[in-house]
C-alpha cells in the first residue's frame, strides 16, 4: 500500500502519521523530542517513520514539518526555536538515514496545507494559515501547494510591525528578534497575558482570561477586545497584500470563539476595499493539522 507519512517535529514532541491517498489515518504515534540532541532527533524521526509504516502495512513518501525553515542559501535549518536544529542539513541527514527523498516545510506551512487540502479551507484557491500560540506564524497555500519564496519566509507575518499602532502601542513590547512591536508581541498567547498584566496588574494565562471574560469579567472582556482589534489590523495587512479567500486560525488561541465574529467586524476599517469577502474560520483538524500537512507535502 502506498502511503503518505507525515512527521511533526516539535520542540517537546514528535508525532508521525500514515495517511492513505484519501486522507484516512492508518497509523499514528508520538514520542517526546530528544531536546538538545540533534543526532537523537534524527534517529527518533527515522524510528517513528519505521513504526507507523509497520503499523499501517506499507511504505510511503515522507514529509516533515519543522519549527523553522531550510535556508535556500545554505541548505541548512534557520529560524528554528528548536535551536539544536539550526545550521544542520536536516533534510539531507533524514534522506540518508531513511534511504529515500524527504520534504521539509515550516510547521505553519504544514498547518495551512492541511486545512487547504481537506480541512476548513478545502478547495479555496488562496489560503492563509495563522498560528496563534506560544508564538505567531503563518503559511500560504495557493492552488493546493504551499508557497515558500526565495528566502523561505513566505507567510512569516509574526515579525512584521503591528499595523496602524495607536500612541499607547508605540514602540511596543520588546521581541526576541531584537525589535519592538512585532505582531507576535501583541497577538501570541503570552502576549495576550502580558497585555492584561500591563493594564490590570493581574497575572493570568490567556486561557484564564478567556474563561473569566465568558463569565462577565469586564477587565478580561476589555483585554480580549484589544487583542481582537490588533488581530483585525494585522490580518487586514495580510488581506491588503495577499487577498486570500480564506484565513484559518490555528494554535491555542484559535479556540477563542469570539474571534470569528469580532475580527471580521473590525478588519474592514483597515482593508483597502469596499467590502471584505475573505472568510475567517477555525481549523477542522486542530492539533493534527501540522502532521497531516507534512504528509500532504507530497502531491498525488
pLDDT tens digits for range 206-260: 999 999 999 999 999 999 999 999 999 999 999 999 999 999 999 999 999 999 9
The answer to whether the beta carbons of residues 55 and 26 sit under 8 Å apart is: yes
Residues 266 and 143 in one domain: yes
Is the pLDDT reported for residue 299 higher than 70? yes
Which three cell numbers mark 125? Answer: 484557491
Residues 279 and 220 in one domain: yes
Residues 277 and 139 in one domain: yes
Residues 243 and 172 in one domain: yes
Residues 137 and 266 in one domain: yes
Other C-beta atoms closer than 10 Å to the C-beta of 46 total 18
Residues 158 and 266 in one domain: yes
293, 300, 241, 244: which is closest to 272 by C-alpha?
241
Residues 99 and 40 in one domain: yes
Residues 272 and 173 in one domain: yes
Residues 104 and 131 in one domain: no
Nearest-5° Cα angle at 182, 177 to 185: 90
Q: Where are the alpha helices (H) located in 169-278, listed in sequence order?
A: 184-187, 189-200, 206-214, 218-242, 259-267
Does residue 70 lie within any of the structural domains?
yes
Does residue 300 lie within any of the structural domains?
no
| Whole-Å CA distances, 103 to 148, 211, 213, 260, 291 | 12, 40, 42, 33, 13
- 133 is in which domain, residue-wise? 123-283
Residues 74 and 154 in one domain: no
Does residue 191 lie within any of the structural domains?
yes
| Whole-Å CA distances, 25 to 78, 91, 145, 194, 287 | 31, 24, 21, 39, 14
- Composition of the chain by helix, strand, coil, percent to 5: 40, 25, 35
- % of the chain beyond a pLDDT of 70: 99
Give the number of domains in the chain.
Answer: 2
Amino acid 1: pLDDT: 66
Residues 134 and 34 in one domain: no
pLDDT one-digit tens code per residue, 66-110? 999 999 999 999 988 899 999 999 999 999 999 999 999 999 999
Please give the helix or strand (H or E) that residue 102 lies within, else none. Answer: strand 102-106
Does residue 78 lie within any of the structural domains?
yes
Does residue 27 lie within any of the structural domains?
yes
Is the pLDDT reported for residue 287 higher than 90? no
Does residue 129 lie within any of the structural domains?
yes
Average pLDDT of 116-128? 97
Is the pLDDT reported for residue 2 higher than 90? no
Does residue 108 lie within any of the structural domains?
yes
Does residue 169 lie within any of the structural domains?
yes
Residues 73 and 41 in one domain: yes
**CATH number, domain with residue 178:** 3.30.420.40
End-to-end CA distance of the chain: 14
Amino acid at each position: 500500500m502506498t502511503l503518505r507519512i507525515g512527521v511533526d517535529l516539535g520542540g517537546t514532541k514528535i508525532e508521525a502519521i500514515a495517511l492513505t491517498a484519501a486522507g484516512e489515518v492508518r497509523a499514528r504515534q508520538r514520542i517526546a523530542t530528544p531536546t538538545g540532541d540533534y543526532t537523537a532527533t534524527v534517529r527518533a524521526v527515522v524510528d517513528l517513520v519505521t513504526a507507523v509504516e509497520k503499523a499501517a502495512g506499507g511504505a510511503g513518501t515522507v514529509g516533515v514539518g519543522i519549527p523553522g525553515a531550510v535556508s535556500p542559501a545554505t541548505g541548512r535549518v534557520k529560524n528554528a526555536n528548536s535551536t539544536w536544529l539550526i545550521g544542520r542539513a536536516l533534510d539531507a541527514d533524514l534522506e540518508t538515514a531513511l534511504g529515500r527523498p524527504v520534504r521539509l516545510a515550516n510547521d505553519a506551512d504544514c498547518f495551512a496545507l492541511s486545512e487547504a487540502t481537506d480541512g476548513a479551507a478545502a478547495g479555496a484557491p488562496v489560503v492563509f494559515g495563522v498560528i496563534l500560540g506560544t508564538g505567531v506564524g503563518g503559511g500560504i497555500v495557493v492552488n493546493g501547494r504551499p508557497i515558500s519564496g526565495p528566502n523561505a519566509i513566505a507567510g512569516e507575518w509574526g515579525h512584521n510591525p503591528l499595523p496602524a499602532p495607536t500612541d499607547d502601542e508605540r514602540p511596543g513590547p520588546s521581541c526576541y528578534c531584537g525589535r519592538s512591536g512585532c505582531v507576535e508581541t501583541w497577538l501570541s498567547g503570552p502576549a495576550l497575558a502580558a497585555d492584561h498584566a500591563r493594564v490590570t496588574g493581574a497575572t493570568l494565562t490567556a486561557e484564564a482570561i478567556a474563561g473569566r471574560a465568558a463569565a462577565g469579567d469586564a477587565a478580561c472582556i476589555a483585554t480580549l477586545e484589544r487583542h481582537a482589534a490588533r488581530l483585525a489590523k494585522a490580518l487586514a495587512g495580510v488581506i491588503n497584500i495577499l487577498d486570500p479567500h480564506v484565513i484559518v486560525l490555528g494554535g491555542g488561541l484559535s479556540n477563542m470563539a469570539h474571534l470569528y465574529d469580532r475580527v471580521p467586524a473590525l478588519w474592514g476599517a483597515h482593508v483597502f476595499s469596499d467590502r471584505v469577502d475573505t472568510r475567517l474560520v477555525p481549523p477542522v483538524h486542530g492539533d493534527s493539522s501540522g502532521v497531516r500537512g507534512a504528509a500532504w507535502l507530497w502531491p498525488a
